[in-house]
Amino acid sequence: MIYGIGIDLVKIERMKEAHEKWGLKFFEKFLAAGEIAYCFEKADPFLSAGVRFAAKEALVKAIGSEVFVSLKDIEVVNDERGKPSIKVHGGLEKFFRDKEIKRCHLSLSHEKEFGIACVVLEV
């Protein structure tokens, strides 16, 4: 059964502008160290950072306003084949247990200008 669905769209240029203004400090506010390393080993790190931000926002939307969510409690990881998934930490991990959320489906896509993420939570 579906618990919630969320989608988010991000303009990649905003990621570039934020990096120019604040450097890595901007990304450290919402990305885990492993996510930053993953993004900045890419030719265009802002595409990967943008869709990770969108994934976190999409997860927040899928949850609704039931609980405060720190974006640092959401981590986007890739398996050995490159398929992305979400790991939750901290208070969000407890929320998932309490609500019996068993699976978090994630789909990411990006183009030159935009990145998009869709999250489906399953109980």
- As a whole number of angstroms, the distance between CA 25 and CA 89 comes to 21
Q: What share of the chain is helix, strand, coil (3-state, %, to 5)?
A: 45, 30, 25
pLDDT of residue 117: 98
Closest CA to 111 of 59, 50, 57: 50
pLDDT of residue 66: 82
Identify the CATH homologous superfamily for domain 2-122.
Answer: 4'-phosphopantetheinyl transferase domain (3.90.470.20)
pLDDT of residue 74: 98
Who contacts 61 (Cβ-Cβ below 8 Å, separation ≥6)?
4, 5, 6, 7, 8, 119
Tens-place pLDDT, residues 38-88: 999 999 999 999 999 999 999 999 999 888 999 999 999 999 999 999 999
Tens-place pLDDT, residues 6-33: 999 999 999 999 999 999 999 999 999 9
The structure's pTM equals 0.95
What are the residue boundaries of the structural domains of the chain, listed by start? 2-122
